[in-house]
């Protein structure tokens, strides 16, 4: 499998970006499932006068890079830089891609909770219907807390997350940040809501 995951990102993009080659079809369902359409709801924190790259393009490229295994801002920028021009065009870049510092400055200014919700909704829409087999036909959701490796808060503390994971589809349904790893039980109720 190629490390270019643009096939799942497209079929349609916001009208402000140039039209790419259609990848999966042009029906209403593929419009709803497009990552570009999902990411278009995120507010751009940048000043309009200094924007060189569309927000949706940078976010879609970052999502593809992470799906391909990138786990740092530099790795995301490297993934973008090492794609060929056809991938750049399909992502909405015009012959050049943002530098690692540009990607970093943009991504740290986004509301992580909103981005997480948008991506979780996008993944749920792409997942097929769950066929629950077995005698009881139960849907199993696992709840677990983790420390985000390499992530730090402004005061230097590590980032602790509590996640709800659908075991049948492999999708994280919801995720909340908690103050301390030992304080997961009070965060359980907000996670469910």
Question: What's the domain count of the chain?
Answer: 2
Q: Is-contact 175 116, C-beta < 8 A?
A: yes
Residue 136 lies in a domain: no
Residue 135 lies in a domain: no
Please write the tens of the pLDDT for every residue from 112-130. Answer: 888 888 888 887 777 666 5
Please write the tens of the pLDDT for every residue from 155-187. Answer: 877 888 888 888 777 777 878 778 765 667 777
Whether residue 47 sits in one domain with residue 76: yes
Q: Is-contact 82 65, C-beta < 8 A?
A: no
Q: Is-contact 7 23, C-beta < 8 A?
A: yes
Please write the tens of the pLDDT for every residue from 10-28. Answer: 444 445 544 433 333 345 4
Whether residue 18 sits in one domain with residue 102: yes
Please write the tens of the pLDDT for every residue from 63-77. Answer: 999 888 888 888 999
Structural domain containing residue 173: 141-192
Q: Is-contact 120 174, C-beta < 8 A?
A: yes
Strands in 64-181 per DSSP E: 141-152, 158-166, 171-178
Mean pLDDT for the chain overall = 75
Residue 66 lies in a domain: yes
């Amino acid at each position: 499998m190629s490390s270019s995951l643009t096939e799942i990102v497209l079929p349609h993009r916001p009208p402000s970006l140039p039209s790419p080659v259609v990848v999966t079809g042009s029906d209403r369902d593929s419009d709803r499932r497009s990552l570009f359409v999902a990411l278009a709801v995120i507010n751009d924190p940048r000043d309009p006068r200094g924007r060189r790259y569309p927000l949706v393009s940078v976010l879609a490229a970052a999502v593809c890079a992470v799906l391909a295994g990138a786990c740092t801002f530099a790795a995301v920028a490297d993934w973008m830089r090492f794609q060929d021009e056809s991938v750049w065009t399909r992502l909405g870049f015009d012959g050049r891609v943002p530098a690692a510092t540009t990607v970093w400055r943009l991504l740290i200014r986004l509301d992580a909770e909103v981005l997480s919700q948008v991506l979780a909704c996008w993944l749920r829409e792409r997942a097929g219907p769950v066929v629950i087999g077995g005698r009881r036909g139960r849907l199993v959701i696992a709840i677990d807390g983790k420390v985000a490796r390499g992530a730090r808060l402004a005061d230097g503390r590590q980032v602790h997350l509590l996640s709800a994971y659908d075991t049948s589809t492999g999708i994280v349904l919801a995720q909340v940040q908690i103050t301390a790893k030992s304080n997961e039980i009070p965060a359980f109720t907000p996670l469910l809501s």
